Amino acid sequence: MAQKVRKAIIPAAGLGTRFLPATKAMPKEMIPIVDKPTIQFIIEEALASGIEDILIVTGKAKRSIEDHFDANVELEQNLKEKGKNELLKLVEETTGINLHFIRQSYPLGLGHAVLQAKAFVGNEPFIVMLGDDLMEDDVPLTKQLINDYEKTHASTIAVMQVPKEDTDKYGIIKPSGKVDKNLYNVEAFVEKPKVEDAPSDLAIIGRYLLTPEIFEILASQKPGAGNEIQLTDAIESLNKIQRVFAHEFKGKRFDVGDKFGYMKTSIEYSLAHPDLKDEMRDYLIELGKQLEGKKPAVKKEK
């Protein structure tokens, strides 16, 4: 029987420079999509996948993440007195989760952030979830990886097809044949190759199921791309000593780590939000007409 996958790590120590000045004093993980901080979507995916304990690797100026998932007795009391039961329910949903926090004192890279979780994870398979990627599918992507693990007992990395010209923004795999409908054997994992060197267009997206042997490798991992300790490089070494599979995700990925991606996500989520969807739809249709009329005036960004 496969060991149960119970633990997840969310690296959240990044400086969020792409969203400055918003992220000067506020963690980027707390930027909302409509009315919910992005990190809450990630935590909901973990819980919906059966994860029981979550470690958030934080850095400076990240305390509001802890506060968000703590009880707010005053607020709860106030909502209770005013009979605002729907809002009370929303607030209460963010408490009672088994969250743990550790600091990454130096921003030495994703691999280094994951290494901070060694003691928390111990000798079990575990999940890594990156906060910049929101995933939508009938079965949560984290659960899809766990389902694979139950059959293979091996590390499995989520990947997705991306446009060839974007391959230098991701970890890219060199697949070597399929073992199942969505599961590939992998010959190599390469972090941010030049577009012309990319071995495929299958990019690592922000969900990983890893066996604990990764920690030994990470402990001596030398800096790679961007002079950072890269998780992808450690996975490449892991794949030399035990099989690591890639799971192709066929659902929808929202990249909220990028300004345009963030805006698109906000619009699409508001079109699905019960309080906003009709108004937003009418507004966008109207705006579309206006923009059509003014087409020559719309400047193309360089």
Our finding on whether 13 is near ligand G1P (CB under 6 A) is no
Among 133, 148, 233, 236, binds ligand G1P (CB under 6 A): 133
110 versus 238: smaller Cβ distance to ligand G1P? 110
Among the candidate windows 27-35, 56-64, 197-205, 211-219, which touches ligand G1P by CB under 6 A? 197-205
Preceding peptide of 21 cis, ω within 30°: yes
Smallest separation, CB 111 to ligand G1P (Å): 8
Among 45, 191, 233, 236, binds ligand G1P (CB under 6 A): 191
Tokens 């097809």 found at: 161
Smallest separation, CB 112 to ligand G1P (Å): 12
- What the block records as the tokens of 183 is 């599961």
Among the candidate windows 58-66, 67-75, 201-209, 283-291, which touches ligand G1P by CB under 6 A? 201-209
171 versus 175: smaller Cβ distance to ligand G1P? 171
Give the C-alpha separation, 13 to 27, whole Å.
Answer: 9
Our finding on whether 204 is near ligand G1P (CB under 6 A) is yes
Among 38, 116, 211, 232, binds ligand G1P (CB under 6 A): 232
**Beta strands 155-161; 244-248: pairing state:** parallel
Our finding on whether 130 is near ligand G1P (CB under 6 A) is yes
Cβ proximity of 115 and 219 under 8 Å? yes
146 versus 160: smaller Cβ distance to ligand G1P? 160
E-state strands within the chain:
7-12, 32-33, 36-37, 53-58, 99-103, 126-129, 133-136, 155-161, 171-178, 183-191, 202-210, 244-248, 252-255
163 versus 296: smaller Cβ distance to ligand G1P? 163
Among 55, 154, 202, 205, binds ligand G1P (CB under 6 A): 205
Smallest separation, CB 30 to ligand G1P (Å): 18
* C-alpha 116 chain-centroid distance: 18
Q: Closest residue (Cβ) to ligand G1P?
A: 171
Site for ligand G1P in 146-175 (CB under 6 A): 170-171
Our finding on whether 248 is near ligand G1P (CB under 6 A) is no
Smallest separation, CB 222 to ligand G1P (Å): 15
CA dihedral for 38, 41, 46, 52, sign (positive or negative): positive
CA distances from 298 to 8, 244, 282, 293 (A): 44, 47, 21, 10
- What the block records as the tokens of 130 is 């990156």
Give the C-alpha separation, 293 to 149, whole Å.
Answer: 53
Beta bridge partners of 78: none
Our finding on whether 198 is near ligand G1P (CB under 6 A) is no
Q: Residue 17: helix, strand or coil by DSSP?
A: helix
Site for ligand G1P in 51-110 (CB under 6 A): 110
- What does the longest C-alpha to C-alpha distance in the chain come to? 63
Give the C-alpha separation, 92 to 279, whole Å.
Answer: 28
79 versus 128: smaller Cβ distance to ligand G1P? 128
Smallest separation, CB 169 to ligand G1P (Å): 7
Q: How many residues are present in the chain?
A: 302
User: What is the contact surface with ligand G1P in residues (CB under 6 A)?
Assistant: 110, 130, 132-133, 170-171, 191, 203-206, 230-232
